[in-house]
Structure 1
């Protein structure tokens, strides 16, 4: 196991490297987001890949690197990975859905106040030597209505913080969610847009959320309201947002994510939103606090450790979740196979033929694959695993101890 090599890209917090090296793994850390061509060149040297939001792990990359054991997204989103192909190759993909929740929520609250007080413009003017002391258009957020689209981990945290500041909170989610505090669920996105002074978006990138906020939706928002997007860049039609701002329908916006973003800090950033009054633009930093990146590094590193060492897969977004306690004095074989009738019988037949005694066995499946974890009393675990690997419907098999 100590020979396995891990590549961490996009300047993942060094705590992940430290923790994994403590486990005996060889870890390399690079600061940029590798292109597809670069991944094709360097990944044959690694068994595990850790990325953030910029690195695209495509079907071509996965097809050319079938040896990869697992992939970790050191962030919330996983849409940058071809999850279906990874599953077909028996590669679980882990993420960190909880670690940056507070950081994103705090930024949303800060941006809401900043927009309402026009702090971005006042700051820029003061730096330019202009003294614009005026209350015109500057308002408190207390007593206003915040509409939250997507009431998951982040949306619900924003809800709690906003209500403590005296805002009325509405939310809309395609899934049934339990309201926190006095937050009130809305029957439709349209109802929320029409009723809110601030609208904040906290949805994943899916075909359903692509261009979810366009000219039609923006026109439904109250005149003089504000839009905040710290979710995914494809959710808002930027050209339509620009028009709404230029026509003074919206009073401002804060955007942290964009349809196209620079791959590194060395590249220039361009957006049609630049130069428009009361528009706050931030470089995808909602979850980028030292506390959040440290916690994310620990969370995904632990997922790697548990999967590589004992085969535990809870938290994998594209893979059956199995967490079988370790049994002392046994060998553990892991097998990923196509989910078809008779596979378990074939595997157990090989185990019986080898005279091995099964101490623990757990099979979990989805519509495409099955994941089998077995603890055996056998001195021939590696030989048995090789035989299981040869079965026509096996995808990958390994022995972890």
Structure 2
């Protein structure tokens, strides 16, 4: 990506990257001409977070840093946030929307890494490797084949057939698993996967259940005590989606009663914010359970790709106004224009604003070379390309319009 000539000095635009974001992101920003880049190894909160955001224009986070409404309201200069991970539930998107802050993520870049860990975990569980490993470390030589099986010919049930769920489906078939899936939306099956329209039927029919659902109010405690009672044949459970999708205490009970034969979890309701905090879970030391520290997407390949993906979106938005992939302000795909000034106007989505924008521009006798508009329920996003020889008083006039949230001139 070649650096764009912009009206703002890039060397004065503060970029803050938290939680050990990949060096690929740093390289992308530097290549684009940004030099004021601050990197932090872990998540920040409270006064520490407020302090680093005081002058920040661009913020990069992963899953631990919580951008609440209070944090967002204090970050007056913040233009865009990049979530260098799959989810955006660590950001108050409604607050970001109303503040005119663009929020991006990387929904696809670590798909393969998570899918591979799911398959690896399924094989480990069905062979009861966690127990064999623990015994060997303790000096016990347990060569018994009891309750140890091949994965070939078993049926995998995928709950949530999105980008990761469907990738798991493809890998599973390649090693001889039969695949069924359940999703609240109709999804086209890949390979020989079979859609099941009822979650209870899926659980009862499958040997292994893997969860790949988003973190929403609808999925919180999706596998509660009642749903976990549908496990009766020693099925295996894998959760690499969101920590609050499974009732952990109910899962522990089902494991101890042998209704569930084993479980692998990579996400938890409460997770340490950094290495210094101790991790505790009711599932520790439960038989045939694999616990991993939220590493589904933590491969060097995935983090490198995520760094490139999200930083590219942030740079493109900052320098061209393109908001494709945004989870807050409305999405716009914008062409490059030569010999123009480009102005971004983010405002409350109320009637009359666009009319007032056009009225002010008309009074200034400004030549509009391009105008683009997109809205969501709360916010409108207008991009104007005006002739270079026209007065930049346009910018001042647009800032005076009622219901304006943010106005920026890019070049």
TM-score normalised by length of structure 2:
0.96
Point out where structure 2 has 5 or more consecutive residues left out of the alignment: 1-7
In the alignment, structure 1 residue 292 sits paired with structure 2 residue 302: yes
Matches within 5 A, 1:92-107: 92-107=102-117
Tell me which residue corresponds to 2:197.
187
Q: Tell me the equivalent position of 1:24.
A: 33
Q: CA deviation at 1:124?
A: 2.3
In 2: Cα distance, 1:380 partner to 1:70 partner: 28
Deviations 1:373-392 (A, max 9, x none): 11110445643112101111
CA–CA distance in structure 2, aligned partners of residues 340 and 391 of structure 1: 12
Q: Distance in 1 between matches of 2:293 and 2:312?
A: 28
Q: Superposed, which structure 2 residues align to 1:27-46 within 5 Å?
A: 27-46=37-56
2:351 corresponds to 1:357: no
Match 1:9 to one of 9, 18, 21: 18
Q: Quick check: 100-109 or 366-375, which moved more?
A: 366-375
3-state SS of the aligned residue for 2:54?
helix
Alignment of 1:48-63 (within 5 A): 48-63=58-73
1:169 to partner: Cα distance: 0.7
1:335-364 Cα offsets, whole Å, 9 max, x none, are 101112221111111212222211111101
Number of the residue aligned with 1:334: 344
- Tell me, yes or no, if the aligned pair for 1:359 and 1:375 is still in contact at 8 Å: yes
1:64 and 2:74 aligned: yes
Say which of 152, 163, 176 aligns to 1:166.
Answer: 176
d(CA) in 1 for partners of 2:392, 2:27: 30
Residue of structure 1 in register with 2:378 after alignment: 368
For 2:181, what is the secondary structure of its paired residue? strand
Q: Is residue 13–residue 293 contact of structure 1 (8 Å, CA) maintained in 2?
A: yes
Q: How does 1:139-154 map to 2 (within 5 A)?
A: 139-154=149-164
Asked if 1:237 is matched to 2:247, the reply is yes
Pair 1:112–1:67, CA change in 2 (3 A): same
Structure 1: how far apart are the matches of 2:200 and 2:392?
59
> Cα offset for 1:327?
0.9
Q: Give the secondary-structure state (helix, strand or coil) at the position aligned to 2:226.
A: helix
- Offset of residue 45 of structure 1: 2.3
Residues 125 and 132 of structure 1 are in contact (CA less than 8 Å); yes or no, is this contact kept in structure 2? yes
Aligned partner of 1:273 in structure 2 is 283
Distance 1:267 1:258 in 2: 14
Contact 2:353 2:402 in 1 (8 A): no
Q: Which residue of 2 aligns with 1:132?
A: 142
**Shift in CA distance, 381/366, structure 1 to aligned 2, threshold 3 Å:** farther
Q: Provide the aligned C-alpha RMSD in A.
A: 1.1
Deviation at 1:186, TM superposition (A): 1.0
Counterpart for residue 383 of structure 1: 393
Q: 1:86 aligns with which of 67, 89, 96?
A: 96
SS in 2 for 1:47: strand
Q: Distance in 2 between matches of 1:20 and 1:382?
A: 28
1:343 maps onto 2:323 in alignment? no
**What CA distance in whole angstroms lies between the structure 1 residues aligned with 2:77 and 2:217?**
30
- Deviation, structure 1 residue 42: 2.1
| Corresponding pairs, count | 401
For 2:393 and 2:287, the matched residues in 1 are separated by 68
TM-score for both structures, normalised by structure 1: 0.98
Is 1:302–2:312 an aligned residue pair?
yes
Q: Residues 397 and 108 from structure 1, CA distance in 2 versus in 1: closer, same or farther, beyond 3 angstroms?
A: same
Instruction: Find the counterpart in structure 1 of residue 5 from structure 2.
Output: none
Question: 2:93, 2:79 → 1: CA distance?
Answer: 14
Check conservation: 2:58, 2:81, Cα contact below 8 A: yes
